[in-house]
Structure formats: structure tokens, C-alpha cells
Amino acid sequence: QWANMVIALELYSYWLIIADDTEFRSNVAHGLALNDVQAMATFLRNFTFTLLWNLPMATLSLPNQHFKTSEGITTITLDRLRTAALRVMKQIYIRDSRRAFLPDSFWLMTNKFDMEVFIPAAVEEEERRYELSLVDEDDSDDDDSQNTHISVNRTIGSSGPAPAVMSRLNILQQAPFFIPFNIRVSIFQAFIALDQARRVNANTGNFDFLMGTNSRHKADVRREFLLEDAYEGFNKLGPDLKSAIGVTFYNDYGPEAGIDGGGITKEFLTSVCKEAFNPSHPLKLFASTAGHLLYPNPAIGSPISRAMNDNSVSERITYRRRQLSYIEFLGRIIGKCLYEGILVDVEFAPFFLQKWTNRNVISNSNIKSSFDDLYWLDPELYNGLIKVHKYPGDVEHDLGLNFTTMHIDDRGQPISIDLKRGGGGHSLAVTNANRLEYIHAVANFKLNTVLQVQTNAFITGMSDLISANWLSMFNAPELQMLVSGGSAGIDIADLRRHTLYGGYLETDETVSHFWEVLEEFTDVERRKLIKFVTSVARAPLLGFEVLRPLFAIRNAGSDKERLPTASTCVNLLKLPDYKSKSLLRKKLLYAINAEAGFDLS
């Protein structure tokens, strides 16, 4: 009874949209018990895997295929069945990702793949996808009717390949959680390497590009005006920011000496991120939640009243355009960090991260945050709206709410926002009958409406360097790990295996003391050391083997009064030859807790 199955899935999907997490987990009056949800998830996982992996041609070769019921009256399309199954599975996965209720590794389908073969095969499919996209561009002027059959059957968006040859990309873009995270990270990095190889091939006759010297895009950056000079020097590059860049820093005394072997570029990117994503920056490009998680400043998306004088409106519009241009540039900066594999110590809010994929691969629509995402933005407001939703008395009489919400605009002034699209929210009372509409309208304004232009600007910039198709392989917490590294503890053995030495041998007394002290450190202290040396408190996702440059320890002389220092731009720890383990521990702890590097001695 396929028709019954589709109807049941579509009804349950609608309920999942309007139900909050507390309703989903408590199952007081509606929905399913969690053990029934697990049974459904198991079926959908296996069923959708079959559709994506074994029947990749289904939506191409059978676009109008119908399945009849036993009576032969009601029919459904295969595409409708696939869409319904994928949507509900994804909705259950999102709930499980937010607050786990399914067993560990529940979603993995590793028994279905040979992982050693999967990665190169996925890269090969990505190359075919790219070639097909070029063919589509060449044929863009052809008769639309010739392309209709292909264009409506893309894996993702209008630039994806026909799914007939893309089994692995189908999995990665529509159900990436079937594949272990570390494998997807390797695929992501392989996709970047493939793109880099394409750029080299496209410039085979360009000697400067191949040598990577004169082809560098260069800029002079004053420390005092770091973000402004970075913007002026590199924003105009757009996608060409993928190329090597050259930076000359200027301080109060003039240009700083240094040859960029990668270290200065890293220092430039991490420094720009540290300054620009600071909510206290004068441009006020980003704001932070109570949990210190970053998202675009909502004031930038505030409505501007035309009741003000024309000059004031014009000035605010001009300034807002400037802010949006800077946010777009920051999207490119984060894209550059991802493209170069440079970790930055910036933590974004989950509701912002999940928009990075830009397109929902199931509905092919712009991804919007849901009501439960409001918890990450404003837990107090979220809990208040939950109480409104579950209030047992007369909402209209007892609570006295209407369809408006308060918002702080770009002047720092509180304004009342009408939540009804056609207006009239100020005179429309919230009642028991419409309170569900009200709480979702508040969440939609806070998470989507007022953040839309800023988010679109950021994503536009980032997509110049990183394809949304690649990012669609990850959920919000995983995207954060791509930006700032893994959340697991620091693996000392892995770090030691991939450490270089200058002026020391690994068997030297001070080096041996260093590793013994590091083993004795708490995880917090280890993270402080890693941040002291690399500028980021987390290890690379695939281990210290991929840290660039590699972690290094250099002999800083025999002066036992000196403190350890670091050059974060090249991941270098300058460690005096203390000889004494207790002295080394004391000096090292002092240095990492002081959070100073170059100038501490």
C-alpha cells in the first residue's frame, strides 16, 4: 500500500514541522513513542538507502512512473514516495542530532560500502558532475525543451549531475550521515584538491601561476586597520581568492620583515577572523548569543522606517550596504580558511551554520531555521513561547499578547515588529486557537526574516571558494569542526609523531621533559598549549599529520629565566633548554595561561 505509506509519511512530516522537541520526546497526546520512531527510522534508513544507492536512475528514467493501489484507483509517483521518505528521515535525524535518542552509530551504513573504494569513487563522480555542469553551461542557449528532462532531475539544485551516474554523490548530498564523519572530511579535502588541480591545469601556460610567486595577489595591511585594509586589498578578488596571497604587515614603525612560506597568510587569516567576528568591532557585523556563539548582527536586517527624513534613511541604507559587503567578504575569508585547511578560533551558532548549505537537498528550497533552533539564540524567549504553547488557561484573556514582537534596530532602538504579512498584527490577539501560528511567527522573524540579507551575503562570499554541494555533507556541529577543529581531546602520541625539531633532538633531556609534562597536563591545559602555539585550541580533524606547517619545537637558548614563546603563524614553540622538568612545567604553564606569544619573554 504505497499510497497509504506516502500519506502517512506526509502527515507525520507536517506534525514534525509544528511539534517542538518537548512534544516530540514526551508524546503526551500526538506523534509516536520513541521506540516507534526508532522502528520507523530503521525502515526509512534502509529504504532510502536502496533508493539512493541501488536505484539512482529512478528519478531520471522513471520520472512519471506511478504505483497503483490494490484497487487501481489512487496512484503516486516514485518521486513523491522518495521525497516523502527522505524528508521524514531527515527530520528524525535532525531531532536526533539536536538531542540524541537513537543508539550511537545508528545512521551509519558502513557495512554497505568499501570505504577504501568509496573516497576515490566519490571524487571521480564529483569530477563527472563538474564536467556535466560545464556541458550545461555550453548548452544554456539551446532550446529549453531539450534540457527540461535533465534540469528537473538534478541531485541538488540546477548545477548538479543527472543522478544516473552519481550514486555516491546522491548519498553524500541527501543522506551524508550514512557515511562516517572522518570519511566525509577526507572527501571534502579531496574535492578541494581536485579543484586546485583544475586551477593548475587551467593555467598550464601561466609560468607565474605555476611558480606561485608573481601570481600572488598582494596587499599592504596596517595592524591598526587590519579588517579595512584586508577588505580593500582582497575583496575584489572574488573566486580568485583561491589563489596564493601575499601580505605585508605594517606596524607603527613601518613594514614588518618576513617571507611568507604560508605562515604570514595563516596569521593574516586568523587575525582578520579574530577582529572581524568580535561583536565589539565598530562595524558591528556579528552578534553573539548568551552562549557566546556568533551569528550575523540582526540589527542589519531591521526594517527602516520611511517616516524619517530622507537624508537619515539614505545614510542608513548606505551604511547597511557597506556592512553587507563586509559580511560577504568575511564569507570569503572563512571560505579561504576552509580551502587552505587553516583552523580559526571562531564559534558560530548552530542555526547560522545550518544555513551554509544554502539549499535543502530534499525540498530544493532555501534552508530555514525551525522553532526549536530558537533555543540557541534566546533560551529565555524559547522557554517563554513553550509556556504560551502549553498554557492551560485562556491565552487571550490571561496573557494579553498580540501578533507583534520586540526588536532592536540598527540605531539601538527597540521597535515593535508586526508579525502578520499583510499587517494588522497589533490588533490581532493571540488566542488558544492561533497561538501555534504566533510562536512560529516569532521564531521565523528572529531566526530567518531579520537574518536573511546578512546570511545571504555571507553565503554568497563563501560560495566563491567552497561549493554548497560540498558543505551539504555536514550538519551544523560538523561544520563547526571544519572551521575550528575537532572536539575530542588532544592526542599527545599523534602530536609527538608529527612534531619537527630545530636545535633539539627528540632524545634530548628538555624535549623528553616536555612530552612528560604534556602527558601530565589536564585536557584544558593541553588545549591551552595547542592554542598558544597554533592559535586554535583544537586538533585538526584528521590529526596533527595534516597541520600546516607541522607542529615544531625550536631551541630558544640556555637562559633559564626566559619563558617559552611561540610563532603561531608557523606553529612553532620556542622552548629554552631548561634541563629541569619542574622548571619547564612552571614556565610553560605560566606562558600558556598568560596567553601571550611573540612578545612574552
Better pLDDT: 296 or 99: 296
Under the banding of pLDDT at 50, 70 and 90, the label for residue 488 is confident
Share of the chain above pLDDT 90, in %: 60
Q: Is the pLDDT at 60 greater than 50, yes or no? A: no
**Residue 556 CB partners (closer than 8 Å, separation 6+):** 562, 564, 565, 574, 575, 576, 577
pLDDT at 161: 43
Task: Check whether residue 431 and residue 298 sit in a common domain.
Answer: no
Record the cell numbers describing residue 234, joined without a space: 582582497
In a domain, 132, yes or no: yes
Task: Check whether residue 27 and residue 171 sit in a common domain.
Answer: yes
In a domain, 600, yes or no: no
Better pLDDT: 27 or 237: 237
pTM: 0.85
The mean pLDDT value for 170-182 works out to 92
Under the banding of pLDDT at 50, 70 and 90, the label for residue 163 is very low
The mean pLDDT value for 203-209 works out to 60
pLDDT at 359: 52
Under the banding of pLDDT at 50, 70 and 90, the label for residue 497 is very high
Beta-bridge mates of residue 66: 77
pLDDT at 403: 97
Task: Check whether residue 265 and residue 310 sit in a common domain.
Answer: yes
Residue 273 annotated in active site = no
In a domain, 538, yes or no: yes
b/e map 291-326, b = 16+ CB within 10 Å: eebbbbbbbbbbeeeeeeeeeeeeebeeebeebbeb
Q: Considering 162, 193, 224, which residue would you say is the last residue of a domain?
A: 193
Share of the chain above pLDDT 70, in %: 84
Q: Is the pLDDT at 553 greater than 70, yes or no? A: yes
Helix (H) or strand (E) holding 310: helix 310-340
Are 155 and 125 in contact by the 8 Å Cβ rule? The answer is: no
Q: Mean pLDDT over all residues of the chain?
A: 86
User: Any idea what the CATH number is for the domain that residue 396 is in?
Assistant: 3.30.2160.10
Are 246 and 216 in contact by the 8 Å Cβ rule? The answer is: yes
For residue range 374-405, list pLDDT tens digits in order. Answer: 999 999 999 999 999 999 999 999 999 999 99
| Residue-range definition of the domain harbouring residue 540 | 492-594
For residue range 295-327, list pLDDT tens digits in order. Answer: 999 999 988 766 556 678 888 899 999 999 999
Task: Check whether residue 286 and residue 434 sit in a common domain.
Answer: no
Task: Check whether residue 579 and residue 502 sit in a common domain.
Answer: yes
Q: Considering 484, 500, 530, which residue would you say is the last residue of a domain?
A: 484
The mean pLDDT value for 518-544 works out to 92
Task: Check whether residue 16 and residue 126 sit in a common domain.
Answer: yes
In a domain, 205, yes or no: no
Task: Check whether residue 81 and residue 180 sit in a common domain.
Answer: yes
Task: Check whether residue 405 and residue 527 sit in a common domain.
Answer: no
**Residue 371 CB partners (closer than 8 Å, separation 6+):** 20, 385, 439, 440, 443
pLDDT at 309: 62
Q: Helix, strand, or coil here: 429?
A: strand
For residue range 244-256, list pLDDT tens digits in order. Answer: 999 998 988 888 8
User: Any idea what the CATH number is for the domain that residue 557 is in?
Assistant: 3.30.2410.10
Residue for grid cell 533555543:
375
3-state secondary structure 140-191: CCCCHHHHHHHHCCCCCCCCCCCHHHCHHHHHHHHCHHHCCHHHHHHHHHHH
Question: Among 137-146, 247-256, 423-432, 480-489, which range has the highest average pLDDT?
Answer: 423-432
The mean pLDDT value for 171-181 works out to 92
In a domain, 202, yes or no: no
Under the banding of pLDDT at 50, 70 and 90, the label for residue 59 is very low
Q: Is the pLDDT at 422 greater than 90, yes or no? A: no
Q: Is the pLDDT at 363 greater than 60, yes or no? A: no
Write down how long the chain is: 601
**Minimum mean pLDDT range among 49-53, 201-205, 290-294, 489-493:** 201-205
Of the listed 171, 443, 569, 575, which one is catalytic? Answer: 569
User: Any idea what the CATH number is for the domain that residue 347 is in?
Assistant: 3.90.1750.10
AA identity, residue 29: A
pLDDT at 207: 54
Q: How many domains is the chain partitioned into structurally?
A: 4
pLDDT at 29: 64
**Own/partner long-range contacts of 11-18 (Cβ < 8 Å, ≥24 apart):** 12/40, 12/88, 13/84, 13/87, 13/88, 13/91, 16/88, 16/91, 16/92, 16/95, 17/91, 17/370, 18/436, 18/440
AA identity, residue 426: H
In a domain, 318, yes or no: yes
**Minimum mean pLDDT range among 50-59, 430-439, 471-480, 525-534:** 50-59
In a domain, 203, yes or no: no
Q: Considering 447, 467, 502, which residue would you say is the last residue of a domain?
A: 447
CA distances from residue 431 to 385, 401, 408 in whole angstroms, order as listed? 13, 8, 26
Task: Check whether residue 89 and residue 24 sit in a common domain.
Answer: yes
Task: Check whether residue 21 and residue 149 sit in a common domain.
Answer: yes
The mean pLDDT value for 93-113 works out to 91
In a domain, 156, yes or no: yes
Task: Check whether residue 17 and residue 160 sit in a common domain.
Answer: yes
Task: Check whether residue 162 and residue 182 sit in a common domain.
Answer: yes
Q: What is the distance between the alpha carbons of residues 340 and 342, in angstroms, rounded to a whole number?
A: 6
Helix (H) or strand (E) holding 359: strand 359-360
Under the banding of pLDDT at 50, 70 and 90, the label for residue 598 is very low
Better pLDDT: 484 or 53: 484
